[in-house]
Amino acid sequence: DQQVKQNSPSLSVQEGRISILNCDYTNSMFDYFLWYKKYPAEGPTFLISISSIKDKNEDGRFTVFLNKSAKHLSLHIVPSQPGDSAVYFCAASGSNQGGKLIFGQGTELSVKP
């Protein structure tokens, strides 16, 4: 029973265009969502988060959208840069769950020059 799913294992985008990474969840008790970026041989690095009381959070080139009714979130990267090439994980937690994160399987983004 996968509570957080990233259905696209990989995504390829041209430099300068928009990258859209998607994530679906099943547990309605989740109220905090995060995106992490991971380069090979490194640990995941926190990118951006959103609380369930919001439907959008923006930080520079990165925007996360949350659609609670659809149990869906997405990460938009505009404009995409070659340095954005990495594996992106979405994660979710509930406020009564000790901050435990449930991760999706990850999407490998490749931004081509």
Partner 1 sequence: NAGVTQTPKFRVLKTGQSMTLLCAQDMNHEYMYWYRQDPGMGLRLIHYSVGEGTTAKGEVPDGYNVSRLKKQNFLLGLESAAPSQTSVYFCASRTDPTNQPQHFGDGTRLSIL
Residue ranges in contact with partner 1 by CB under 8 A:
4, 6, 9, 32, 34, 36, 41-46, 49, 51, 89, 91, 93, 95, 98-106
CB of 59 to partner 1, least distance (A): 12
Closer to partner 1 by CB, 83 or 99: give it: 99
Q: Indicate the length of the chain as a whole number.
A: 113
Note the Cα 28 to chain centre separation in Å. 18
CB of 113 to partner 1, least distance (A): 27
Sign, Cα dihedral of 113, 66, 26, 49: positive
Closer to partner 1 by CB, 39 or 78: give it: 39
CB of 49 to partner 1, least distance (A): 6
Q: Quickly count: other Cβ atoms within 10 Å of residue 28's Cβ.
A: 10
Pairing of strands 72-77, 19-25: antiparallel
